[in-house]
Amino acid sequence: MRKGEKITTNIDWPLFGVYLVLMLLGLTTVYSTAYNPDHPNLFDFSQKYGKQVVWLLVSLFLGLLVLLIDADIYRKFATPIYLFTLALLVIVLFMPAKFGARAWLGIGSLGIQPAEFAKIGTALLLAKYISGVNIKLQNVQTVIISNSIILIPMVLILLQPDAGTFVVYTSFLFVMYREGLSYDPLILKIINLIPGIKFKETWVGSHFIPIMFAVVLLCVATLLYSGETITFGFLPNFKIPGVVGVLLGLVTIAGVFLFLSRFIGSRRDRKNALFIVIIGLVLSTSISLGVNGLFKSLAPHQKERIELFLGLRKDDDGDDYNRNRAMAAVGSGGFLGKGYNKASVSSVESNHVPESETDFIFCPFAEEWGFLGAFILVCLYMFMLFRIIMIAERQKSRFIRIYAYTVAMILFYHFMVNIGMDIGFAPVIGIPLPFFSYGGSSMMSFSMFVFVLLKLDSQRSYILQ
C-alpha cells in the first residue's frame, strides 16, 4: 500500500457490497440446508455451517491482506505465483484419491483444492504476458505462449481428473478473443508451409465465436454417436461405428463445398479452397477422434453424467437421480417458496438431493424462496458480472483489464453451469456456485479473485501498463 493511502481508498463499494451480500446469503442457506437440531449454534465448528463461518472469516482476512499489498506486486510476481500453483497441481497428483480424484492437498478433513487457486495464477500470468510492452497480438509466438499458459494447468487438472475445472479453463479463450489475440497467424503459417499455397490472411480470428460453436456441435455429435453403430437400410449387414459416421458426414459437407467452389472464383481460388477443406477435415477429424478418445478415458461416473445429459441413457431413479431431484426441489418452491429452513426435498435431513450444500446449493435456496428469490439471486450475480465488466472497461492498464475479464468469465462459467445443473440445462460436473456453496477452497479462491481486482482497480491511476 502506498504511503499516505488508506486501505479503503478508491475501493469499488458496489462490487464489494454485492460480494458480501452473496456470501451472507450463502452462509444462511448452508445453515438452513445442513441444520442439525442437536447443534443449533451457527458457530458450532463441528457442523458444516460452523466451518463455513471459519472459511468466510479466513476469506475476509485474506482479502484484507490482499488490500494491504501494493497492487503492482501482482503483476511483478505473476510468474512465481503461476509456477507455485503449478507445483501444487503436480504435488496433488501423488496424494491419495478422495471422492474418486486426486484433487485435494491436506490431511484428514482439512484440505484445499490447488486447482481453484491455479485459476488465479493463470489469470495473473496471462494478463501479464498479453499486456507486455513488446507483445504483438498478431504473432505466432504470442499465440503459442499464451495458449501454453492455459493448457499446462488444464492438462494437470485433467490428470486428477477434475472435469468441471477443466471446462472452466476454456473461459480464458474468450478473454484472449476480447483482447484481439487470434489464431490467424499460427494457422496462416501452417497453411503457407504447403507448397504452392500462399495465403495473405485467414478469417478464423474474426469468426472465433461461430467456430467455437461449430466445434461444440462437432463434439456433441461425436458423443451422441460414439457408442452407436450406424446401419444402412439397403445394406442391412453393413455397420460402421458412430464416430466414423460423423467423419463421413464431414467429408460429405466438404465434398459439397468443393463442388460449389468449382463455379466460384479463379483456378487459384479453387485450389486454395481444396487445401482449406483438407485442413478443415484434418482438424475436424482430430477433434472428433480426440473427443471420442477422451470420453472413453473418463471415469464411469463422469461418462454416465454426460450420457444422461445428452439423453443417451435414461435412469430417473438411478444415475440421473441427483439431477431429477434437483429439478424437483427447484420446482417445488413455487413462486414465493416454502419459507426459510422449511425446504423438504433438498434438505440434508431428507437426503433427496445429495450434496445440496455444495454443488446443488441453488436447490434449497430456490425451494425456500421460490421463483422470486431465485430471480433476485440471479440478478445479484448479473449485477456483479456487469460491475466487473464496467471496472474492466474503465482501466487504462491492459493488465488490469485482462485480469478483470478473466474474473468475469470464470464467475460467469461457474454461475451458468452450477444453476444449469440444478435446472437440467447443464451436465452434472461438480462446479460450485461462487460465494454460495459450502467449501473452503472455492470460497477463498473466489474471494481472492475479487479482492485482487478491487486492489488493482483502486490503484488504476498508478498502473498504466
Q: What is the pLDDT of residues 92-147, one digit of tens each?
A: 888 877 766 777 776 555 678 888 899 999 999 999 998 876 777 777 788 888 88
Residue predicted with more confidence, 271 or 324:
324
pLDDT score at 323:
72
Report, as an integer, the average pLDDT of 56-77. Answer: 90
pLDDT value, residue 231: 47
pLDDT at 196: 60
pLDDT of residue 232: 44
So what's the pLDDT on residue 15? Answer: 94
How much is the pLDDT for 388? 95
What pLDDT score does 262 carry?
55
Identify the pLDDT of residue 451.
94
Q: What is the dihedral of CA 446, 163, 282, 152, to 10 degrees?
A: 50
Give pLDDT, residue 40.
82
> Residue range 147-174: average pLDDT?
87
Predicted local confidence at residue 230, as pLDDT: 47
Confidence of residue 372 (pLDDT cuts 50, 70, 90): very high
Lowest mean pLDDT among 138-152, 209-223, 324-338: 209-223
Give the C-alpha separation, 246 to 465, whole Å.
Answer: 47
Higher pLDDT, 136 or 447: 447
Q: How confident is the model at residue 228 (pLDDT cuts 50, 70, 90)?
A: low
More confident site: 107 or 313: 313
Mean pLDDT, to the nearest integer, of 362-374?
A: 89
Domain boundaries, the chain: 1-181+318-465, 182-312
- Residue 112: beta bridge partners? 105
Indicate whether 410 pLDDT > 90. Answer: yes
Could you tell me which residues come within 8 angstroms of residue 219 by beta carbon, excluding any fewer than 6 positions away?
A: 287, 288, 291
With CA atoms as reference, report the closest residue to 136 among 75, 96, 182, 190: 182
Higher pLDDT, 271 or 137: 137
SS (H, E, C) the chain: CCCCCCCCCCCCHHHHHHHHHHHHHHHHHHHHHCCCCCCCCCCCCCCHHHHHHHHHHHHHHHHHHHHHCCCHHHHHCHHHHHHHHHHHHHHHCCCCCECCECCCEEECCEEECHHHHHHHHHHHHHHHHHCCCCCCCCCHHHHHHHHHHHHHHHHHHHCCCCHHHHHHCCHHHHHHHHCCCCCHHHHHHHHCCCCCCCCCCCCCHHHHHHHHHHHHHHHHHHHHHHCCEEEECCEEEEEEEHHHHHHHHHHHHHHHHHHHHCCCCCHHHHHHHHHHHHHHHHHHHHHHHHHHHHHHHCCHHHHHHHHHHCCCCCCCCCCCHHHHHHHHHHHHCCCCCCCCCCCCCCCCCCCCCCCCCCCCCHHHHHHHHHHHHHHHHHHHHHHHHHHHHHHHHCCCCHHHHHHHHHHHHHHHHHHHHHHHHHCCCCCCCCCCCCCCCCCHHHHHHHHHHHHHHHHHHHCCCCCCC
186 vs 68, higher pLDDT? 68
Q: What pLDDT score was predicted for residue 81? A: 93
User: pTM for the complete prediction?
Assistant: 0.80
* pLDDT top residue among 182 and 3: 182
Least confident range of 56-60, 118-122, 210-214: 210-214
Q: Quick check: 18 pLDDT over 50?
A: yes
**Region 426-432 average pLDDT:** 79
What is the structure's pLDDT at 346? 72
Percent of the chain with pLDDT over 70: 66
Q: Give the integer Cα–Cα distance in Å for 185 and 140.
A: 5
Lowest mean per-residue pLDDT among 79-93, 184-198, 380-394: 184-198
Task: Determine the average pLDDT of the residues in 180-198.
Answer: 68
Q: What is the mean pLDDT of the chain?
A: 78
- Does the pLDDT value for residue 4 go beyond 70? no
